[in-house]
A and B are shown apart, each in its own frame.
Chain A
């Protein structure tokens, strides 16, 4: 799906295709953004949850250049789904059949040695390669001098020094991409020991007969020696597994260690290359600034404190800074809906447009400020290098429930809103950890639950003082938040032991040096997140809003004109499909102590939980603006036998129900997308909805029945 107004024009058939690859933290995405600007399309790689970003720009000769941003990878060893995708595209065997003409390897000039490992693997694939020697300025500042002509000579491919953050080196880079296709294909730059070469020959032959370029077969043969499992894409190559086993045992007898052979020969060659192309003028690393920051940021006591402080700031700003913006958006949409409404004749069409379309979509767009603010903070933390430290600090705690340190931020974001929280799970590499996190994020009490808690606590919980500054009302609110949090941790542990069973992967994290984030790149990523939300969630929500509106509107009744407008509204609602649903589900909610009216409110709020309050307002005919009147009405509401409908026990049970129930179609829509889209996405969104509903029902029942047994209510 393309972004409105920024989608690139259709790609001409003669467009040059460039795949960008690089280690994480090399500025790869910044460079991608510097080349393409907002001409980007975000999607997923076919069949997997790995994000696929494609962009384009016009080359110096007017030719269109299409760029695919491959996931950050340390090697082509296919240890993660990300690396597998990168390998598939580079070997020209990905499911989308996207064939790169040139591969652009982004190499961090500061950490050349480590980065050349991936570069040396890519060079051997036999596809034209250009290397961007990025963060060249930082390397210079740190006293690292790189002899670029000599490095070009050693690697046999064009190399362009760049500073992507400031857009430096982009023109020569574009030129190099255009000319690279005309150069002879690159190949391995070092010779293997004769015994190794001979042992690997049969493996290479198998790969070549399966269609690999001879050069790529050489790289692949060396690589598969070091991986224990057979990669999916190699399982079909006839005789490969046997040939590999044979080669490994031959090498073992000859005194080699097959599993470490690739890293040994590559790093030996790299050490040689770096040895005569890189000189360090200063013995002291300029990374000492990072060291000094880390002395505080990773301090055993100070580190966690700083982290908590930062999180408090993030959380608080998502809460408070977003509020005026959200009010603004709400007002804007309401007045737009009103303005459109006056143009339409009174009747169903007007109601559909104003209440269904504007009301429904408005209830979603209102989350946009929270998303933008949260992703600005996450972007800042990520681009600056702090995020890796946060994951490091939280790793031990999260590990105890079977999750990863990186699951912490999405879960915390869930307090503000589950939607950005779920979107933030993208930083978690392991797909099972990611899914487990997505499944539990909505248990964190989000800001949309606040109106429900506020209404019920205000009406039924007395403001008895417990401690100085803490009333029973405040304690109840805190209890609701704690209940959700504890449930999220327990459910994560359950998911990781059942549906998403998998080993807890030990932490392997690179802590990159601290850097000033690139504002342009930050802006682009926040913009992308917002657009994704508006588009994907927006389409689903628009259709569901219309369905819900119709259910509350039809079939029509002719209400008694003698009644007040609110009573007429109540009558209409009772006769509508939604009202009938309320009556039908009454036996289901009866055990929880609810009547049909609460049933309707719950049914109506399946799309967005805060609708509960406005539906209650409609049902009790007081309007949702007047919360005091509604509170009063709830306290006095009696059933047919004259008993009070709302005992404090019912109210607490109802709140507990809302702590657990997933009543938010924005969340479901985003889960569909983030859990893989399509059938897989719907499956997980379904699992999430059902398990949370079961939890909600069970917990509310326990509160009601247990409370009665204990003599409350």
Chain B
């Protein structure tokens, strides 16, 4: 799936973008519980629920 929009405070959005999670990035959800485990640009990120709630994604069309 692809990130469409990141809606959180400027600081946090800034950190996420530096970590490679920005609008247009392809992400894989590895695990979703209270927090979420994502695969982004070959790295693995754990994001709190407060953050993931503000991220809108679009499912990639199946090839």
Interface residues of chain A, those whose CB is within 8 Å of chain B, are: 74-75, 77, 79, 110-111, 113-114, 117-118, 226-229, 257, 259-260, 262-264, 267, 285, 287, 290, 298, 300, 388, 392, 395-396, 399, 505-513
B10/A508 in contact, CB under 8 A = no
B45/A510 in contact, CB under 8 A = yes
A511/B45 in contact, CB under 8 A = yes
Question: Of the candidates B22, B45, B46, which one forms a contact with A264 in the assembled complex, judged by CB atoms under 8 Å apart?
Answer: B22
B16/A260 in contact, CB under 8 A = no
A-B contact pairs, 30 of them (CB 8 A): A74-B15, A75-B18, A77-B18, A79-B11, A111-B43, A114-B19, A114-B42, A117-B20, A118-B18, A228-B10, A260-B13, A260-B17, A262-B17, A263-B22, A267-B24, A300-B33, A392-B35, A392-B46, A395-B35, A395-B48, A396-B35, A506-B12, A506-B49, A507-B47, A507-B51, A508-B15, A508-B45, A508-B51, A511-B44, A512-B43
A78 to chain B, nearest CB (A): 9
For the complex of A and B, the 3 pairs showing the least CB-CB separation, nearest first, are A228-B10, A75-B18, A506-B48
B7 to chain A, nearest CB (A): 11
Q: Which of B1-44 contact A (CB under 8 A)?
A: 6, 8-20, 22-25, 31, 33-35, 37, 40-44
A227/B43 in contact, CB under 8 A = no
A506/B51 in contact, CB under 8 A = yes
Interface residues of chain B, those whose CB is within 8 Å of chain A, are: 6, 8-20, 22-25, 31, 33-35, 37, 40-51
With A110-B42, A226-B14, A396-B35 given, can you name 5 additional A-B contacts, CB distance below 8 Å? A75-B18, A260-B22, A506-B51, A507-B46, A509-B46
Specify the main secondary structure of chain B where it touches its partner: mixed
Distance, CA A513 to CA B16, complexed state (A): 19
A259/B50 in contact, CB under 8 A = no
B18 to chain A, nearest CB (A): 3
> B45 — which chain A residues lie within 8 A by C-beta?
508-511
A11 to chain B, nearest CB (A): 33
B17/A226 in contact, CB under 8 A = yes
> B14 — which chain A residues lie within 8 A by C-beta?
75, 77, 79, 226-227
> A227 — which chain B residues lie within 8 A by C-beta?
10-11, 14
B24 to chain A, nearest CB (A): 7
Question: Of the candidates A114, A117, A228, A507, which one forms a contact with B11 in the assembled complex, judged by CB atoms under 8 Å apart?
Answer: A228
- Residues A113 and B20 in contact in the complex (CB < 8 Å), given A395-B35, A506-B48: yes
A507/B16 in contact, CB under 8 A = no
Distance, CA A508 to CA B41, complexed state (A): 16
B29 to chain A, nearest CB (A): 14
Question: Of the candidates B6, B47, B49, which one forms a contact with A508 in the assembled complex, judged by CB atoms under 8 Å apart?
Answer: B47
A259 to chain B, nearest CB (A): 7
B41/A114 in contact, CB under 8 A = yes
Question: Of the candidates B20, B23, B40, B47, which one forms a contact with A506 in the assembled complex, judged by CB atoms under 8 Å apart?
Answer: B47
User: Of B45, B48, B51, which is in contact with the most chain A CB atoms at under 10 Å from its CB?
Assistant: B48
User: Of A226, A298, A506, which is in contact with the most chain B CB atoms at under 10 Å from its CB?
Assistant: A506
User: Of B33, B35, B37, which is in contact with the most chain A CB atoms at under 10 Å from its CB?
Assistant: B35
> A298 — which chain B residues lie within 8 A by C-beta?
31, 37
Question: Of the candidates A74, A228, A290, A509, which one forms a contact with B18 in the assembled complex, judged by CB atoms under 8 Å apart?
Answer: A74
Whose C-beta in chain A lies nearest to the C-beta of B36?
A507
Distance, CA A376 to CA B33, complexed state (A): 32
Distance, CA A392 to CA B12, complexed state (A): 18
B48/A111 in contact, CB under 8 A = no
> B22 — which chain A residues lie within 8 A by C-beta?
260, 263-264, 267
> A229 — which chain B residues lie within 8 A by C-beta?
10-11
Distance, CA A510 to CA B19, complexed state (A): 8
Distance, CA A538 to CA B17, complexed state (A): 44
B35/A508 in contact, CB under 8 A = no
Distance, CA A259 to CA B5, complexed state (A): 12
B31/A508 in contact, CB under 8 A = no
Distance, CA A111 to CA B42, complexed state (A): 6
Whose C-beta in chain A lies nearest to the C-beta of B45?
A510
Whose C-beta in chain A lies nearest to the C-beta of B24?
A264
Distance, CA A287 to CA B11, complexed state (A): 30
> A285 — which chain B residues lie within 8 A by C-beta?
42
> B33 — which chain A residues lie within 8 A by C-beta?
300
Distance, CA A43 to CA B18, complexed state (A): 28
Distance, CA A259 to CA B11, complexed state (A): 11
> A77 — which chain B residues lie within 8 A by C-beta?
14-15, 18
B18/A117 in contact, CB under 8 A = yes
A113/B41 in contact, CB under 8 A = yes
Distance, CA A257 to CA B13, complexed state (A): 13
Question: Of the candidates B10, B17, B35, which one forms a contact with A507 in the assembled complex, judged by CB atoms under 8 Å apart?
Answer: B35
> A510 — which chain B residues lie within 8 A by C-beta?
19, 43-46
> B44 — which chain A residues lie within 8 A by C-beta?
290, 510-513
Question: Of the candidates A110, A114, A228, A511, which one forms a contact with B37 in the assembled complex, judged by CB atoms under 8 Å apart?
Answer: A511
Distance, CA A257 to CA B23, complexed state (A): 11
Distance, CA A178 to CA B50, complexed state (A): 47
> B41 — which chain A residues lie within 8 A by C-beta?
111, 113-114
> A508 — which chain B residues lie within 8 A by C-beta?
12, 15-16, 19, 45-48, 51
Whose C-beta in chain B lies nearest to the C-beta of A391?
B46
> A290 — which chain B residues lie within 8 A by C-beta?
44
A74/B46 in contact, CB under 8 A = no
Whose C-beta in chain B lies nearest to the C-beta of A226?
B14
Whose C-beta in chain B lies nearest to the C-beta of A80?
B15
> B25 — which chain A residues lie within 8 A by C-beta?
267
B4 to chain A, nearest CB (A): 12
> B20 — which chain A residues lie within 8 A by C-beta?
113-114, 117, 267
> B46 — which chain A residues lie within 8 A by C-beta?
388, 392, 395, 507-511
B10/A259 in contact, CB under 8 A = yes
Distance, CA A509 to CA B16, complexed state (A): 10
Distance, CA A508 to CA B20, complexed state (A): 12
Distance, CA A287 to CA B23, complexed state (A): 25
B62 to chain A, nearest CB (A): 18
Whose C-beta in chain A lies nearest to the C-beta of B44?
A511
Distance, CA A226 to CA B13, complexed state (A): 9
> B48 — which chain A residues lie within 8 A by C-beta?
395, 399, 506-508
Distance, CA A665 to CA B47, complexed state (A): 39
Whose C-beta in chain B lies nearest to the C-beta of A228?
B10
Distance, CA A399 to CA B49, complexed state (A): 12
Whose C-beta in chain B lies nearest to the C-beta of A113?
B41
Distance, CA A299 to CA B42, complexed state (A): 21
> A505 — which chain B residues lie within 8 A by C-beta?
12
Distance, CA A285 to CA B44, complexed state (A): 13
Distance, CA A483 to CA B16, complexed state (A): 40
> A396 — which chain B residues lie within 8 A by C-beta?
34-35
> B13 — which chain A residues lie within 8 A by C-beta?
259-260
Distance, CA A396 to CA B35, complexed state (A): 9
Distance, CA A257 to CA B34, complexed state (A): 31
B12/A263 in contact, CB under 8 A = no
Whose C-beta in chain A lies nearest to the C-beta of B34?
A396
